Chain A
Amino acid sequence: MLLIPCPWCGPRDEAEFHYGGQAHVAYPENPAALSDEEWARYLFFRDNPKGLFAERWSHTAGCRRWFNAVRDTATNEIHAVYRVGEPRPVTA
């Protein structure tokens, strides 16, 4: 089980959180202009790295706020957490 450091509440058990998948996926600025391939890429394709991954979490059983984390999917180690709207921090 992960111990996730909520940037608002501090470290809490994974069971208090809801997962939101890849972070920093922006809605297309002009959806109508996208080709089918581009739309498919936005809708269905997400990064799936074995390694560092910027992802979204919501502290649903706590402050109920969304935030981002950088976690290593090969080890589950969380390298950074940061607030929505902040850029992805540089991690080792």
Chain B
Amino acid sequence: MTLRTPGADLPDHPDRLWRPAEPKRAYDVVIVGGGGHGLATAYYLAKNHGITNVAVLERGWLAGGNMARNTTIIRSNYLWDESVGIYEHALKLWEGLEEDLGYPLLFSQRGVLNLAHSLQDVRDSVRRVNANRLNGVDAEWLTPEQVKEVCPIVDISPHVRYPVLGGTYQPRAGIAKHDYVAWGFAKAAADLGVDMIEHCEVTGLDVRDGRVTGVQTTRGPIAAKKVALAAAGHSSVVAGYAGVSLPLQSHPLQALVSELLEPVHPTVVMSNAVHVYVSQAHKGELVMGAGIDAANSYRQRGAFHIIERQMSAALELFPVFARAHVLRTWGGVVDVTPDASPIVGLTPVEDLYVNCGWGTGGFKATPGVGWCYAHTVATGEPHPLNAPFSLDRFTTGKLVDEHGAAAVAH
């Protein structure tokens, strides 16, 4: 019997999904931020607009910020027409995205329940269901018993402090595997010629005569005809390099997972009032999140009392979780706007575009915002679906107040 090197019979290293690129001296478009939104924007710039001389600059590794940290919930049941426009566009893209990217995303339309715990909750929820249906979004109002049918582990007894009085249900909502989404977009964009440049932090924006001409980075200066910001929690910092101030506050948002468990949770449950949202990942972890930490911070960690409160909320809704364990908690930095809606569009600096302010809910919009932001950057005009989310709405007063449907406390 001959001795074999351990591992010698294992298959070869899989092919790289994208080639790491060295920064060129100039690009047509430089995208600042290699998260989901930046990668999706790069993909649609190449695919929809034929613009392939594009670099995605990422200060860490691709999709290592909020894209690696979110709770992967996808839905489009927002209240206002403007929001439904962009979120439903995203959901429709999600529904064909695996085929489009040629990459598995574990996209699972297992539905989302948004629970109501007070009479006002019920009124607001029913109103939102009606608004959704008028906008062609699948939405239903469920009684507590119907909630229990969709998700048998929810406690609907009247004896808890905040009984479940019903909930809205969007059957087409669900989850996807966040890392696969990033990798799928990165691979597809790289295949079309986009440069993925990691460990390249933007340290300045070159502005001449009111027009952006390039970026300064830790890997040298890069000229650009257009610069598209997609820097999430660091948007204020990056936009500040060009003297653009944004109505954003950066906060930590935490999430956590349990150990791997047998499938117990068939859908996604969100509760504004007791405040937790829970799904179960394909692998088996219970994935939970709640509200942001109150104080501004760029630290990717939050306070433990936030975890403690969301755990008690989860236990009230799901007594069966009492014996599960918290395996891991983490935080990301989210950029929150005054109206809980994003800012996507032009800036006072010519050829500088901004996509930020997605706060706690940017993942679900990934393909939709990539599509619309790419259009905005390529044409220099806001896509109709992101036109309502312009920076100047804070001056005109035409806010898109989604604090209710954002489902995460700000």
Give A contacts to B, CB under 8 Å. Answer: 1-2, 13-15, 18-19, 21, 36-37, 40, 43-46, 48-50, 53, 55, 71, 73-76
Q: What are 15 A-B residue pairs whose CB atoms fall within 8 Å in the complex?
A: A2-B295, A13-B305, A14-B305, A15-B305, A21-B249, A21-B296, A44-B247, A45-B245, A50-B234, A50-B237, A55-B296, A73-B296, A74-B298, A74-B299, A76-B297
Complex alpha-carbon distance, A71 and B295, angstroms: 10
Distance (Å) between the CB of A80 and the closest chain B CB? 15
- Given contact pairs A43-B394, A73-B250, enumerate 4 new A-B contacts (beta carbons under 8 Å): A44-B338, A48-B335, A71-B295, A74-B299
Size of the B side of the interface (Cβ < 8 Å), in residues, is 24
Give the contacting residue for B296; candidates A37, A48, A75; CB below 8 A. Answer: A48
In the complex where A1-B303, A44-B338 touch, is A55 in contact with B395 (Cβ < 8 A)? no
**Most chain B beta-carbon neighbours within 10 Å: one of A2, A71, A73, A75:** A73
What's the A-B contact tally at a CB cutoff of 8 Å?
61
User: Could you tell me the distance between the alpha carbons of A41 and B22 in the complex, rounded to whole angstroms?
Assistant: 40
Q: Does B324 contact A (CB under 8 A)?
A: no
* Bound Cα distance from A40 to B394, whole angstroms: 6
Please name all residues of chain A whose beta carbon is closer than 8 Å to the beta carbon of B246 when the two chains form the complex: 45, 48
B248 at the interface (CB under 8 A from A): yes
Q: Give a binary string over B298-311; 1 marks a CB under 8 Å from any A CB, 0 the rest.
A: 11000111000000
Given contacts A44-B247, A44-B338, A44-B394, contact A75 B299 (CB under 8 A): yes
Task: Indicate with 1 or 0, residue by residue over B238-252, a CB within 8 angstroms of chain A CB atoms.
Answer: 000000011111100
CB pair B294 A36 closer than 8 Å: no
Bound CA–CA A48/B359 (angstroms): 14
Find out whether the CB atom of A48 lies under 8 angstroms from the CB atom of B303: no
- Please report whether the interface of chain A is mostly helix, strand, loop or mixed according to DSSP: mixed
Contact A46 B305 (CB under 8 A): no
Looking at chain B's contact residues, is the secondary structure mostly helix, strand, loop, or mixed?
loop
- Assess the A19–B294 pair: CB atoms within 8 A: yes
Asked whether A53 and B245 contact (CB < 8 A) given A1-B303, A36-B396, the answer is: no
Complex interface bits, B382-407 against A, C-beta within 8 A gives 1, otherwise 0: 00000000000011110000000000
B296 touches A53 (CB 8 A): yes
A20: shortest Cβ distance to chain B, in Å? 9
Task: Give chain A residues whose Cβ lies under 8 Å from the Cβ of B272.
Answer: none
Of all chain B residues, which has the CB nearest A36?
Answer: B395
Given contacts A44-B394, A45-B245, A50-B234, contact A19 B299 (CB under 8 A): no
Q: B376 at the A/B interface (Cβ < 8 Å)?
A: no
A36-B396, A37-B395 are contacts. A48–B249 as well, Cβ < 8 Å?
yes
Q: Complex: how many Å from CA A21 to CA B248? A: 12
- Bound-state CA distance A15–B396 (Å) is 37
CB–CB B304/A1 < 8 A: yes
B236 within 8 A of A: yes
Q: Which 5 pairs from chain A and chain B are nearest by CB?
A: A19-B294, A48-B236, A1-B303, A44-B247, A15-B305
